Structure 1
């Protein structure tokens, strides 16, 4: 099966000033994505909190890569909280896969992927099991 989002992403803002201005968002209904990389269905549960993508607010970087793929970012955040599903490198590959499935251009998906490869490790460690 091809990677695909199987349900709409429905969220509500919990705190619009948190997470460096990105805000914190709560998933309001089950959000389903099939990953071909993982060969499994991912279901993000209602109540899950996300800050979407953690793109630095540097003007050029944010203009190119920020605020572009909320659906893929929620899947990536969920994987970063569920280390039992996959390792960090695979979670980052799934982010790229999901970005493409969401219609994000290949060049932008590659930039998002490289960004998490370079800067995602602290979040992986912080978001995982205690």
Structure 2
């Protein structure tokens, strides 16, 4: 029995495939999903989605969002998703550096900065 994994962004469906197992980058840590998993809805973090497929492992960077698991279907709604092969360590390090330099004088600026730092750290982890 396989798990169907679907990644949807505002532009299009990025991925629709079957996998033996899926590891989701949740907001508070990784979540493994095997066939028969109890239903859930959760908040995605910035990190690596890992799929174990018949063709071998696949990894994608997921830019936050939400995940739903139900009836052996994992649906991810995210603002952006890309293969980790397309990430560059140097660019991710530069993004992290720029995020640390962002102003944080107001609560709104602090929240924007914190999100930028989490996103850059997730990209850096995925790129490595």
Q: Same fold (TM over 0.5)?
A: no
Q: Given the two structures, how large is their TM-score scaled by the length of structure 1?
A: 0.32
| Structure of larger gyration radius | 2
Structure-2-length-normalised TM-score? 0.32
Name the structure where strand makes up a greater proportion of residues: 2
When you count helix as a share of all residues, which structure comes out higher?
Answer: 1
